Amino acid sequence: MHDENELLTARFEENRNHLRAVAFRILGSLSEADDAVQETWLRLSRSGAAGVENLGGWLTTVIGRICLDILRSRASRREEPLDTYVPGPADSRSDVLGPEHEALLADAVSSALLVVLDTLTPAERLVFVLHDLFAVPFTEVAPIVDRTPAAARQLAVRARLRVRGASTATDVDPARRREIVAAFLAATRDGDFDALLVLLDPDVVIRADRAAMKAGTAGEMRGAAAVARTILGRAKALRPALVNGTAGAVSVRDGHLRVVFGFTITGGRITGIDLLTDPAWLGGLDVTILDD
């Protein structure tokens, strides 16, 4: 029995990074994604894998259902996730940098897609993520959302149209992004509250990872004025940098990377700021510090 449990645990661990990647893109929050992964493990440990021919597919289906329940619950309460881009717990094997983990790192400094996904219904979002991002067949996605494969396909079509339409409004020009980030840093250093308000979207949101939250930072803050006041008081040491190839900002102390700021920029304004401080994740980022 002990050997059987060890084998089941090992097989689950082989799928953990993939499951977290799926849950993260569906939910837009790594803390919620980790909760979904944990719940998936609990269901597997209770039911076992006897009779399951494709464990990876079975686990993907289970976590899809769990994420759909979370999305629907969130929608009914009209709530947003509190901590997008939060590193997983200590046992999440972040030292194993597989393709899914690397994709999560990239997402941590480019949240434009997640902003667009927030406009979709729970069913649309789940179908789009599973089929278009992870190539799960409609025949496997459909039962999760209680639809026929044809109906699931239509959900994906509607989701693609929204994603493509909304994506056209997102600033993707690298030079323009660097200009906006540079102006943000200048306003921060100069203590120019009014300049920051011009750069920030009125509904801008800043989100901190779990490590920063443990250190006393709020998990989420919304609104240009509130974000500007927070930034002016805490971000004067930031330096411009390329983070996974996109314009961002970092803080370095004693030769070590301490903080990374990722930006979502839409319509010429900053709509999202993501604060990453967890050393396990910072070590996996590709960071090039630029001249001020």
Ranges of each domain in the chain: 2-167, 174-289
The answer regarding whether domain 174-289 maps to CATH 3.10.450.50 reads yes
Q: H/E element holding 252?
A: strand 246-253
How far apart (Å, rounded) are the C-alpha atoms in residues 248 and 228? 17
Low pLDDT (below 50) residues in the chain: 78-98, 100-102, 104-111
- As a residue count, the chain comes to 292
> Encoding tokens for residue 84?
């997008």
Contact (Cβ atoms closer than 8 angstroms) between residue 288 and residue 260: no
What distance, in Å, lies between the first and last C-alpha atoms of the chain?
60
Report d(CA 286, CA 211) in Å as an integer: 20
Cα(244)–Cα(260) distance, integer angstroms = 11
Looking at residue 34, what is its pLDDT? 85
Q: Please name the residues in contact with 175: beta carbons below 8 A apart, sequence gap of 6 or more.
A: none
Give the pLDDT of residue 242: 85
pLDDT in the model for residue 281: 62
For the domain made up of 2-167, the CATH class stated in words is: mainly alpha
How many CA atoms, within 13 angstroms, populate the side-chain half-sphere of residue 65? 14
Sheet holding 246-253, edge to edge: 220-222, 200-208, 269-276, 256-266, 246-253, 239-243, 287-289
| Closest listed residue to residue 279, CA positions, set 240, 253, 248, 249 | 253
pLDDT of residue 91: 29
Q: Which two tokens stand for residue 264?
A: 């979502």
Give pLDDT, residue 67. 95
> Does 2-167 match 174-289 in CATH topology?
no
